[in-house]
């Protein structure tokens, strides 16, 4: 990628005065693009001797590889971004539900909530916040337990705790096995639901 930048005022850099409004070209390249540039600059674009057809073909293949790699990385990045948006959207729905049910000020850690949601992503197909709300409202003792523990236990200050109760109730074995932190952190959720693990 090439872009152009202009100095807004006169600069002095390594013993050189750079006047105001001097325009410079800035090239931003990936490591592969840089390697390609280093390889081909003297061989193809400023040759002292003519490059053989084999070298020219090899250089063309390497450029095709770079373009393909860039495209694959872009696809992966786009996929990750879409998945991240789904997780963030779910958290955006959990936050007001948690706040409404507990009446607590929000003191949550965004990254921890997203990480836990991502951990259980396979269990969340077809997930509905409405169903979660109905589940919690059918077991209001859960809200009391969250409020009691929130003062001293970090996990119970996180909106994702509501989701964890639902997952413990519907998928106890998978939920326990996939839990990414220390097991004792999640034990109160099972205990509250009367589930032995």
Share of the chain above pLDDT 70, in %: 91
Q: Per-residue pLDDT for 107 more than 70? A: yes
Contact 120, 181 (CB under 8 A): no
User: What mean pLDDT is predicted for residues 153-181?
Assistant: 94
Instruction: For residue 17, give the H/E element and its range.
Output: strand 16-18
Q: What is the pLDDT of residue 104?
A: 85
pTM of this structure: 0.62
Torsion angle (degrees, nearest 10) of CA 123, 124, 125, 131: 120
Q: Average per-residue pLDDT in the chain? A: 85
Q: What is the pLDDT of residue 46?
A: 61
User: What does each C-alpha distance from 129 to 37, 124, 143 come to in angstroms?
Assistant: 52, 11, 16
Q: Per-residue pLDDT for 83 more than 60? A: no
User: What mean pLDDT is predicted for residues 67-78?
Assistant: 76
Q: What is the pLDDT of residue 163?
A: 95
Euclidean distance between CA atoms 47 and 61, whole angstroms: 19
Q: Per-residue pLDDT for 16 more than 80? A: yes
């Amino acid at each position: 990628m090439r872009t152009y930048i202009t100095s807004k005022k006169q600069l002095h850099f390594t013993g050189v005065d750079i006047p105001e409004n001097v325009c410079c070209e800035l090239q931003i390249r990936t490591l592969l693009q840089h390697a390609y540039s280093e390889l081909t600059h003297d061989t193809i674009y400023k040759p002292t001797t003519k490059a053989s057809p084999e070298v020219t073909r090899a250089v063309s293949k390497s450029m095709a590889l770079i373009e393909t790699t860039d495209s694959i990385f872009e696809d992966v990045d786009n996929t990750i971004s879409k998945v991240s948006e789904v997780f963030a959207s779910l958290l955006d729905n959990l936050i007001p539900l948690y706040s409404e049910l507990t009446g607590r000020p929000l003191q949550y850690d965004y990254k921890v909530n997203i990480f836990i949601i991502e951990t259980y992503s396979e269990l969340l197909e077809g997930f509905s916040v409405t169903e979660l709300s109905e589940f919690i409202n059918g077991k209001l003792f859960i809200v009391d337990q969250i409020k009691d523990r929130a003062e001293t236990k970090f996990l119970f200050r996180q909106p994702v705790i509501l989701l964890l109760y639902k997952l413990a109730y519907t998928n106890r074995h998978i939920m326990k096995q996939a839990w990414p932190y220390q097991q004792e952190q999640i034990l109160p959720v099972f205990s509250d639901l009367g589930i032995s693990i």
